[in-house]
Amino acid sequence: MSSRGLRSRQSSGVSRIRDDQITDLVSKLQLLIPQLRRGRSHKVSASKVLQETRNYIRSLHREVEDLSHRLSELLASTDIDNDQAAIIRSLLM
C-alpha cells in the first residue's frame, strides 16, 4: 500500500501505530463478515467493511429476536423443570 510510504514520513510515531492498528482491526472485521470474505481481500474499503459489519450485526440481532420468539412459544406450553433441563442439556452435547 502506498500509504505505508507516506506514513513513514510522518513525524508522529503515535499516529503511525494507530493507523496500523486500525487497518488491522478493520481487516479482521472483514474476515468475520460472510459477505466480504469471498477472496476479495484488499479491494474492500474500510467504509464498506463498516457498513457491512453494521448490517451483519443487525441481521444477527434479528435472528436472535426471531429465535427468542420461537423459543418462548416452544417453552410457553410447559416450563422446564430441572430434570427436563438436564435431559435437554445432555441431548445438546
Query: Which CA distances in Å does 64 have to 29, 45, 73?
Result: 20, 29, 14
Handedness of CA 42, 45, 48, 52 (dihedral sign): positive
37 lines the binding site for other proteins (CB under 8 A):
no
58 lines the binding site for other proteins (CB under 8 A):
yes
85 lines the binding site for other proteins (CB under 8 A):
yes
Q: Determine the angle formed by the axes of helices 13-32 and 46-76, rounding to 10 degrees.
A: 50
* Three-state DSSP state, 33: coil
Q: Note the maximum CA span of the chain.
A: 68
Nearest approach, Cβ of residue 57 and other proteins (Å): 5
Q: Of the two residues 31 and 40, which places its CB atom closer to other proteins in the complex?
A: 31
Binding site for other proteins (CB under 8 A): 1-3, 6-7, 9-12, 14-15, 18-19, 21-26, 28-29, 32-33, 45-47, 50-51, 53-54, 56-58, 60-61, 63-65, 67-82, 84-85, 88-89, 91-93
